[in-house]
Chain A
Amino acid sequence: MTIARLSPTSDGEIRRSFLSGFGKFTLSATAIALLSGNEKLAMIGSAAAQTANNDVAILNSALGAEQQAIAAYQLGAESGLLQKPVLALAVQFQGHHKQHADALAKAVQKLGGKPATPLKDYGFPKEKLKTQADVLNFAATLEKGAVSAYLGAVPILTDRELAKAAASILGDEAMHWAVLRQALGQPPVPEAFVS
């Protein structure tokens, strides 16, 4: 168990850093300030709590996207349309998304939030998935969207360790997208920048 480090600076500013991002327990700045009886610190801590709430919302958005990806790969794996080498790849990618989801859910909980839960039905276009290429195209679309979602999360996560972890996931999603494009016979990396 690791507790967040509060480092008062000479001008009274509070610097709060997570020691290890995902996977470790963190006590909120507000809680620490209130426990110490320092009202000024508690007021600053309220602002920190608000930023933690923002981080929870961002992480829960990402968690929702991961849960959707897990469901999509499940649909693909059970479709009977994926041939053996591609099926193994899809199962591997689904495993990555499960790991992302686990890490994100733990991070949300440790920030005091409630992790998003998977939907019962995502309304996937099952009737349009008739070939292996259809499934791969569908998965590639979601992976590309996931890259964009993380690109929209990294710069606004307050905690730098969480931002680093999100960037790490972004890299993984981008690799999935590239491999799926390669499997579809498309240029795997179409541009120098993602958006």
Chain B
Amino acid sequence: MTIKIGRENELKFRDVVEKYPEIPKLIILKIDVQRRGVYYTQNALNKIDPTIYQVTGANIFFAALGARDQTTKSVPESLILRDGTTIITDPTPLEQNPYIVDYRDGKFVLVDNDEIVEEVGFWEKPDFYGKLTSSGTPMDSIVFGRPQRLNITPSSYCHFWKNDNGCKYCDLVPHLKEDGVIKKKLTPQDAYETVREAIKQKGRYTNICMTMGSDINGKTPFDAEADYYIDILKAIGQNFEGRRFPSQIITTALNEEQLGRIYNETGLASYTSDIEVLNEELFNWICPGKAEWIGYKEWKRRLVAAVDIFGKGNVNTGIVGGVELAKPKGFKTEAEGLKHTLEEAEDLISKGVSVVYIVWVPRPLSFFKDQQNASLEYYVNLTIGLDKLRKKYGLEMDFDDYRRCGNHPNSDLLRV
């Protein structure tokens, strides 16, 4: 369990809002809510109608799975603010100082220190939830809806865990094993049918994102992963007119031959491969499976090579913001972590690879379970730094912005 101690000297939300007027208050709030998590009062839960709102369900990437609050069973999937900003956040026990979601004076609100900080809304339930594919698979067990994006999770297993080389911030496989919910791979037919059903809902989705654990199998490592994405993307693509459709996959760093096949044989429009931490030594320590099978320098090289295939503005990489400070091998100070992270980010961004971050949440079943994430001020500076670099090199990121994704504070800033 993450215990927050020794954070009294960090700037609080209102201090950071005052110190950094160039970053919108609502984006700073999003970051802080992601850092600290949320606790839903019983009063709020009583008012949340599960026929209207999307509550946590069977999907492997839903918010409560592995959340800091292990007692959570059925809460809103995530939050949305009045400007359309999405907050994907963890249910968190009260003793860890989360924001409170309460229902007051006819509105759902975010509360901190018993003061209302902001009105808040929840994601609405997609129409396809509760329906089955022709094979009897519950559609919401394989695909889930963000406010404007379909998330497809074809497989719940990552092969890096076979020799205990899973990423140290990740709790997916340990949690799935504990809950016994490792499931069969999604079939192309189920994927086709679920997307076909989902897009009957007019105005709901603008992008399809697909991601799963790494699969090392194949003649060349990860051929099996590439082939599987091709099969699913081909099936999904039968639902759309035209050569390409708004789509993103988040895969292991595949080589040019594998990426070329995916690009040429499917309608995929953008590509992401998460490098997770922008430092070679920390990458080797935190992501040993990625280091074992591909390596830091090769991961970066493949990302840059992907720009030649998918085009500038259609390739990016994600980092787990703050994990570069993990103890004992991480950067010793936030200043050092920020400096090195932005230097490495510039190397990628200057070559056409955008960098987005998510806020690191040390989850209870991950290797880093007892650690704490960075200060709010650190994340705001990371947001500012990455946004400046994006502007400097003129990179757009339509496929991974506030609407098409909603989980990256720095790409939220592309709206203005």
- Are chains A and B native binding partners rather than an unrelated pairing? no
Q: Which residues of A contact B (CB under 8 A)?
A: none
